[in-house]
Amino acid sequence: MVHKRKTKADNTFVLKKEEVNRGWILFDAAGKTLGRLATEIANVLRGKHKADFTPHIDSGDGVIVINADKIVVTGSKETQKVYRYYTGHIGGMREIPYETMKAKKPGYIIEHAVWGMMPRTCLSRAQIKRLRVFVGSEHKMDAQKPIQANI
């Protein structure tokens, strides 16, 4: 009689993409620290907050962020933080200070922070598309029945 060795793989749960249940979670950014909020959002987008997390399956929920203009940074980042991008032309490096970016595009601050905390894969590019950022306290996503997050 031949006994089959029991391996760890025999007990491992692997989620299938047909079994994924998606929901929407609402975050209020008013008074929250940028980095701490961004890590929570990235975990929800990836699905790491669920017990059935599987790294190679897109099992994350959608995220709605309101009050993006009331986000807070710590220390001297308010005056020193700079957003850079390159236009592609000679001498085309552009630098935008944090205060200017917060006045013009406060939603970009949160999107940029969350994008920096996602892994560099095709899967994360699909997951980041479920992030919706709104400047005020109103949002247009009532049909998705979002659940309020407590952080």
Phi, psi of 124 (to 5 degrees): -70, -30
Residue extents of the structural domains in the chain:
23-72+105-148
Taking only the tens place, the pLDDT of each residue in 99-119 is 999 999 999 999 999 999 999
Q: Mention the CATH class of domain 23-72+105-148.
A: alpha beta
Q: Where are the beta strands (DSSP E) in 6-89?
A: 24-28, 62-66, 82-86
- pTM recorded for the entire structure: 0.89
Query: Average pLDDT of 129-147?
Result: 94
Say if residues 146 and 25 touch (Cβ distance below 8 Å): yes
Give yes or no for residue 147 having a pLDDT over 70: yes
Taking only the tens place, the pLDDT of each residue in 33-89 is 999 999 999 999 999 999 989 999 999 999 999 999 999 999 999 999 999 999 999
pLDDT on residue 39? 97
User: Which residues partner with 147 through β-bridges?
Assistant: 25
Residues 64 and 144: their CA atoms lie apart, in Å, by 10
